[in-house]
Amino acid sequence: MQIHERVAAQRRSRRGSALVMSLIAVVTVVVLSASFSQFASAVANRQAQAVNRKRAFYMAEAGLAEGFAALTCGKSGNVGTLEAPALLGEGVFWVEASELEPGYVRLEATGMVASGRAELALVARRGTEDVAALGVFSGGAVTLGAGSLVDAYDSSLGTYATQSDKSGASLGSNGNISVSGSALKPTTIKGDVTPGPDGHLTQLGNVTISGSTSVALEATEFPAIDVPAIALGAAQVHSSPYPLVIPPGSVGYTSLTVQSGAQVLIQGPAQVLLGSLTLNASAQLSFDTSGGPIDLFVTDAADLAATSLLSTTGTNPEDVRILVPGQTAQSLKLRSSGPFHGVIYAPEAALVLGNTFELFGAVVSKGLVLEGAAKLHFDKHLAEVAAEELLPLILSWRLVELANLTGDLATDPFTLLGLDKNVLPAPSGAHMDQTLVIDYFDASSVYHRYSGPESKFDWNVVQSVISATRDGVQVVFPISTSTKSGVRKSPGVLPVIDGPMI
């Protein structure tokens, strides 16, 4: 009996141990399952949060793109605000623009999607105006003597001699234009002639103008010239039969006089600052641009005598600029022979171009006189380059912040910011309002002018734009299928003045 009881007790003990082991196994499995479930949930949460951060990053990128696109067409770059951001899909963004210094702007875009938030920033340089696109232009009167030639070519297509189409020139002024010719010395302008808004064109004798002669819509303002800080050395008088070589770099002289039969060669890249420049008869001044571009600044006077030679080794007008930053006591006299490939810019000085002067490029000055058979060949490629320079340039880009505002995957930016999704503007409607001044033709070719908040203007009524600015900044957009040089023409009638449209 005792044996049976001991056996039964042993059996009960074994059954109890098995139950304990089973219970331990079940508990272990439950704990492991819970741990794996919690781990999987945490991984899924982290992945979802990462996705939200990436979506917010893309939203901020969209904001930067919208703000930068705004800069290209004269807008401020501000898009939306924290209180009223732009709505895009299931997220929002806003862009703040701030001027760092004249000509440089910082755009900071914030994007939010679900719980993700990203902030990106870039620094851009605003576009600059290149007066070379004006072609042949004067802030005052323009006088062309008998035998003058003003035409055009495109240096990106080859040399002037290889091109049969010489049309597309632009001769303009803020004042009057006088053109004369004779039977023996006809004057030809293969393009537009544009007197100032209050100016007029006078034609005497044998004159051919192939383009429009309508007056300008408004006067053209000239940007100032930034003169480099170069110390002026002693006056230089060069008379040796051996060339005087000015090497690459920056150099200045109170004056430079090149005597008859002597030659001065400027090697690029270089910035040369002169008080005055004199070339006597048969003297030579050459620009060697094989190593880089050359800027020649002349502050006081220039007298390049007849039979002197002004030349360039290259044929790209972008490589040589003669710049006269201020007023001069007398007109600058450029009576030398060419050919000269470059740009001459004298916003406050008058120029006299001799009858053997030949320029390939552009010339802009306060006053302009062509003596007889001077030849000016406007490079239309300069207008294309100028159109590109009007666009802003991105200088730097950086990530400011990339985070999740909350661990709750069910949240959204509308709840976090206390916004009503249904009343938020689309990106195109979230730009900061600006003062728009626009001259345009409507669908019936009627000339209109509007000046006021852009939010009150209906762009749908515009058939073609003559001129437009936002807060005084030119609106950049395609005016026609090809780049047009020169100044905007007046329609020749008074505009219909528009009031608020929306």
Is residue 188 within 8 Å of 176, Cβ to Cβ? no
Residue 35's pLDDT band, with cuts at 50, 70 and 90, is low
Residue 40's pLDDT band, with cuts at 50, 70 and 90, is low
pLDDT at 134: 94
Residue 478 predicted with pLDDT over 90: no
- Measure the CA–CA gap between 313 and 229, rounded to whole angstroms: 27
- Measure the CA–CA gap between 391 and 122, rounded to whole angstroms: 15
Residue 1 predicted with pLDDT over 60: no
pLDDT at 482: 46
Residues 22/26/27/31 CA torsion (nearest 10 deg) = 150
Residue 12's pLDDT band, with cuts at 50, 70 and 90, is low
> In this structure, what token pair is assigned to residue 420?
């009503």
pLDDT at 145: 95
Residue 102's pLDDT band, with cuts at 50, 70 and 90, is confident
Helix%, strand%, coil% for the chain, nearest 5: 20, 40, 40
Q: Checking DSSP bridges between strand 447-453 and strand 435-441, what pairing results, if any?
A: antiparallel
Average pLDDT of the segment spanning 266-282: 96
pLDDT at 15: 64
- Measure the CA–CA gap between 116 and 402, rounded to whole angstroms: 8
- CA angle (118, 122, 125) in 5-degree steps: 160
Average pLDDT of the segment spanning 165-171: 94
Percent of the chain with pLDDT over 70: 92
Alpha-carbon separation of residue 115 from 51, 126, 289 (angstroms): 10, 35, 57
pLDDT at 481: 42
180 vs 473, which has greater pLDDT? 180
133 vs 410, which has greater pLDDT? 133
Residue 339's pLDDT band, with cuts at 50, 70 and 90, is very high
Q: In what order do the strands lie in the sheet with 464-470?
A: 473-474, 464-470, 435-441, 447-453, 496-498
Q: What is the pLDDT of residues 345-403, one digit of tens each?
A: 999 999 999 999 999 999 999 999 999 889 999 999 999 898 888 889 999 999 999 99
> In this structure, what token pair is assigned to residue 441?
């033709």
Instruction: Say how far residue 457 (Cα) sits from the centre of its chain.
Output: 25
Alpha-carbon separation of residue 496 from 465, 472, 487, 493 (angstroms): 14, 21, 21, 9
What SS3 string covers 420-439?
Answer: CHHHCCCHHHCECCCEEEEE
- Measure the CA–CA gap between 160 and 157, rounded to whole angstroms: 9
Residue 268 predicted with pLDDT over 80: yes
The whole-model pTM stands at: 0.83
- For 355, phi and psi rounded to 5 degrees? -75, -5
pLDDT at 479: 47
What 198-202 contacts at long range (C-beta under 8 Å, 24+ apart), as own/partner pairs, is: 199/173, 199/174, 199/175, 200/176, 201/176, 201/177, 202/176, 202/177, 202/178
Summary mean pLDDT of the chain:
90
Q: Could you tell me the domains of the chain?
A: 2-127 (3.30.1300), 131-387 (no CATH), 433-498 (no CATH)
Q: What is the pLDDT of residues 195-254, one digit of tens each?
A: 999 999 999 999 999 999 999 999 999 999 999 999 999 999 999 999 999 999 999 999
Residue 483 predicted with pLDDT over 70: no
